[in-house]
Amino acid sequence: MIKLKDKVSAFFVFFLITSSQVGVGVLGFQRVIGQYAGHDAWIAVIIAGIAISVIIWIMYRLLSHHDIGDIVAIHRFTYGKWLGAIFTLLFTAYLMLMTAVVLRTYVEVIQVWMFPHIKIWALLLLILPLVYYTISSEFRTVVGVCFLGVVYPSLLLLTLFYPLKYATLTNIMPVMDHSVTELMQSSSLAVLEFIGFSALLVFYPYIRDAVKSQTYAHLGNGYSLLIYLMVSLVTYLYYNQTELREVIWPTLGLWKIIELPFFARFEYLGIATLFFAILPNLVLLVWASARTLDRTFNAGHKRMAILLLVILFVANIVLTDRMTIGVLNNVLGNIGLGFLFGYVPFLFVLNWIRRKGQKNGP
């Protein structure tokens, strides 16, 4: 059992959810989700955010029926010890794939925009030890990083007002010019930006009065939705759809036009500040992965963390070109959709049937 002193207030779930959802994707999601719905893709962001709130509700219903209240206990109860361990390993692999995509994408941004000649391994050796230092301590340290990861990057929202000077309202007109099918296709792509909250299935037992924290989870998801909605609307007002197809990271383009008398390249400051949003992504996902492995095999949290960070290091060295990273993003998006909207509801129903059977059994 987790000691009370190791748990955090329900209020911090807001920061845990938001910090797990807002990360490197905020730099380029506008182009991706616009593939189907075009200038109406900002509506797809709203649909995706509402759908995620439904999944958060299902997760809380699922977690609240177990004493330990994490996915390891749920898998063990639903499938048994050995089959449950296999499903937990698959979940851990999903978290690690998410971590690898986030880390490699951020490293690529640094290489392209700031230091084109820097080696990947050198950047990894700067970032990964910091991740280990954070997760090797108590969960409270992870929560502290997530708190700062919401507060500091929020200042970047002020930069969205500058591009509005060059906004063209006709770029998003007429509203609702796309079919429901196209909006749903774009919303399925937008879901990729929110999937980091899957870590809730692991950190739930570390929350005091965890059942009551659901309100803060929805508020955190709502704040993430607001961020993505603001960024997408400003982007579509600034770029027309033809221009947007040619830009890989539209948000960096918005930062590039900002002119300050004491800072010539604001996008450098933006990328550096965004690290405070990337670090919580990495920390929370690696912590959750190490926690699930430790709970499954009783192998020690720190040893599992080192193993996972070594795997991350090797994986990021292997991923060398943009095409491979793009393919990984697509794969992660499909897996994330399947996990959240397929497996989680299925697990909820299966778990309910199992509990019902035990209750009515001899």
Report if residue 356 sits inside a domain.
Answer: no
Report if residue 31 sits inside a domain.
Answer: yes
As a whole-number percent, the residues of the chain with pLDDT over 90 amount to 58
In degrees, to the nearest 5, what angle opens at C-alpha 71 toward C-alphas 141 and 278? 40
Q: Measured between alpha carbons, how far apart are the two ends of the chain, in Å?
A: 29
pLDDT tens digit sequence for 256-295: 888 777 777 888 888 999 999 999 999 999 999 999 999 9
Report if residue 252 sits inside a domain.
Answer: yes
Provide the pLDDT confidence category of residue 245 given band limits of 50, 70 and 90. Answer: confident
Cα 316 to Cα 99, 110, 191, distances in angstroms: 10, 14, 24
**Which pLDDT value is given to residue 326?**
78
State yes or no: pLDDT of 112 exceeds 80.
Answer: yes
Domain at 42, CATH number: 1.20.1740.10
The whole-chain average pLDDT of the chain stands at 90
Q: Which of 132, 157, 137 is nearest to 18 (CA)?
A: 157
- 96 touches 288 (CB < 8 A): no
Per-residue pLDDT, averaged over 299-326, amounts to 87
pLDDT tens digit sequence for 197-206: 999 999 999 9
Residue with the larger pLDDT of the pair 115 and 263: 115
Per-residue pLDDT, averaged over 102-123, amounts to 90
Per-residue pLDDT, averaged over 117-127, amounts to 91
Residues 6+ apart with CB under 8 A from 16: 143, 146, 199, 200, 203, 220, 284
As a whole-number percent, the residues of the chain with pLDDT over 70 amount to 98
Distance, CA of 243 to CA of 248 (rounded, Å) = 10
State yes or no: pLDDT of 1 exceeds 80.
Answer: no
The pTM (predicted TM-score) of the whole model is 0.93
Report if residue 348 sits inside a domain.
Answer: no
State yes or no: pLDDT of 107 exceeds 80.
Answer: yes
**Buried-exposed string 222-243: b where 16+ CB fall within 10 A, e elsewhere:** bbbbebbeebbbbbbbbbeeee
Per-residue pLDDT, averaged over 219-231, amounts to 95
Per-residue pLDDT, averaged over 319-327, amounts to 77
Per-residue pLDDT, averaged over 183-196, amounts to 91
Provide the pLDDT confidence category of residue 4 given band limits of 50, 70 and 90. Answer: confident
State yes or no: pLDDT of 163 exceeds 80.
Answer: yes
**Which pLDDT value is given to residue 69?**
78
Report if residue 350 sits inside a domain.
Answer: no
Report if residue 222 sits inside a domain.
Answer: yes
**Which pLDDT value is given to residue 345?**
94
pLDDT tens digit sequence for 43-59: 999 999 999 999 999 99
Q: Which of 29, 43, 327, 25 is nearest to 196 (CA)?
A: 25
Report if residue 132 sits inside a domain.
Answer: yes
Please state the domain count of the chain: 1
β-pair partners for 263: 260
Provide the pLDDT confidence category of residue 83 given band limits of 50, 70 and 90. Answer: very high
Residue 224: what residue type?
Answer: S
Per-residue pLDDT, averaged over 337-347, amounts to 94
Q: In which domain, by residue range, is 135 found? A: 4-338
State yes or no: pLDDT of 109 exceeds 60.
Answer: yes
State yes or no: pLDDT of 361 exceeds 70.
Answer: no
Distance, CA of 85 to CA of 296 (rounded, Å) = 6
Report if residue 347 sits inside a domain.
Answer: no
User: Among all chains, which residue has been given the structure tokens 């948000």?
Assistant: 251
Per-residue pLDDT, averaged over 155-162, amounts to 89
Q: Which of 203, 181, 179 is nearest to 280 (CA)?
A: 203
State yes or no: pLDDT of 360 exceeds 70.
Answer: no
For the chain, give the number of residues: 362
Per-residue pLDDT, averaged over 310-325, amounts to 85
